[in-house]
Amino acid sequence: MATATSYPDPVHIAVIGGTGLQHLPNFTHAATLTPTTPWGTPSSPIHILHHPSPSDPSTHIPIAFLSRHGVHHELAPHEVPARANIAALRKLGVRTIIAFSAVGSLQEEIKPRDFVIPDQVIDRTKGIRPFTFFEGGLVGHVGFADPFDEGLNKVVRKCGHSLEGDGVRLHDKGTLICMEGPQFSTRAESKMYRSWGGSVINMSCLPESKLAREAEISYVMICMSTDYDCWHTSEDVSVEMVMGNMKANSENARRFVGAVLDELSKEEHLELVSAKHLEGASRGAGGITAKPGRNEDAVKRMEYMFPGYY
Ligand SMILES: CSC[C@H]1O[C@H](OP(=O)(O)O)[C@H](O)[C@@H]1O
Ligand SMILES: Nc1ncnc2[nH]cnc12
């Protein structure tokens, strides 16, 4: 059967898969989309998967899946077209993103293969990644005090804890350091991040989560620890170590994501996954540029996500 290349209905929930989580098997595949946005093409085709509705298994909830580093992990963290990814998801109707990431642990108690749901992030990227939709004649400033959606995080934590004792260990909170990479940190940097209160470290949360906020999409990140970076007495991080732990624990990672999708598909979470609480935030944020000063092309680009906003 030929794969559909379009999807007729809005899709509210997306999963962004990271290192070692390039597919979500065990879901019915409904369509493969290859959109182009004013910010380029996304990292990978977007797969629309059908998730059986918990209240009526004869119906389904569509889920969008995107592989952050490309289908074969060919995009380095600084090459991920985050604006195209987020814009394409928004255009599909996405209002909730469950992002997945392989992270280094900066704390003894966060052991390799443990899961962490961060509630804060420290930006250690270097400004070389395009990081905003608001530029070129349309200025906007959105709030980012709490980078991860607390309502969604509560649901994610509950799902993670429900799998505990079954191989899953979960830490409810944490400060994520997002570094530039692609090289791993020096030992001095790793120790400095610990002194800052960092819990885990990756190279992928930013600008992804900032752009999601600008796109009025709720965003959370499920992190899986793969190593102790290089501050610990154990062996220093390497790609082999990251991939080895990801592979060994990938079944738990998939079960975790599956449990979150099961829960979010319930009718009681409809309001939460529609991110009603973020609606209009970017209209106000972008209102700072007076109409006569708005650049036509910048406004046109934003029309892709927000028709009629500016
Ligand atoms: C392969 S180690 C470094 C790489 O792993 C993480 O990827 P992701 O967040 O997409 O799971 C980290 O952020 C780096 O991109
Ligand atoms: N130690 C580390 N530093 C940055 N990103 C990572 N992803 C997995 N382990 C990491």
Domain boundaries, the chain: 13-126+141-233+260-279
The alpha carbons of the chain give a radius of gyration, in whole angstroms, of: 19
Closest ligand to residue 235's CA: 2
Distance CA 172, CA 277 (A): 23
Does residue 102 line the site of ligand 2, with CB under 6 A?
yes
pLDDT at 57: 78
Using the mean position of ligand 1's atoms as its centre, give its distance from the Cα of residue 135 in Å: 28
pLDDT at 82: 98
Q: Among 67, 74, 203, 249, name the best residue to mutate to test ligand 1's pocket (greatest count of ligand atoms within 8 A of Cβ).
A: 203
Distance CA 210, CA 97 (A): 12
pLDDT at 53: 81
Does residue 260 line the site of ligand 2, with CB under 6 A?
no
Burial of 307 (0-12, 13-18, 19+ CB in 10 A): exposed
pTM confidence score? 0.97
Does residue 226 line the site of ligand 2, with CB under 6 A?
yes
- Domain 13-126+141-233+260-279 in CATH 3.40.50.720: no
The interface pTM score, or ipTM, of the predicted complex is 0.99
3-class state of residue 83 by DSSP: helix
282 annotated binding-site participant: no
Q: Which residues of the chain have pLDDT under 70?
A: 1-2
Using the mean position of ligand 2's atoms as its centre, give its distance from the Cα of residue 222 in Å: 14
Query: Tens digits of per-residue pLDDT, 78-128?
Result: 999 999 999 999 999 999 999 999 999 999 999 999 999 999 999 999 999
Q: Read out DSSP for 25-66?
A: -SSEEEEEE---BTTB--SSPEEEEEEE-SS-TTSEEEEEEE
Q: What are the angstrom distances between the C-alpha of 219 and each of 43, 148, 177?
A: 18, 6, 16
Q: Whose CA is nearest to atom 7 of ligand 2?
A: 103
- Beta-carbon count within 10 A of 138 CB: 23
Residues 6+ apart with CB under 8 A from 59: 52, 53
pLDDT at 2: 66
pLDDT at 65: 97
Residues lining ligand 1, judged by CB closer than 6 Å? 18-19, 68-69, 77, 101-102, 181, 202-204, 239, 242
Q: Whose CA is nearest to atom 4 of ligand 2?
A: 202
- Residues serving a catalytic function are 227, 229
Does residue 106 line the site of ligand 2, with CB under 6 A?
no
229 annotated binding-site participant: yes
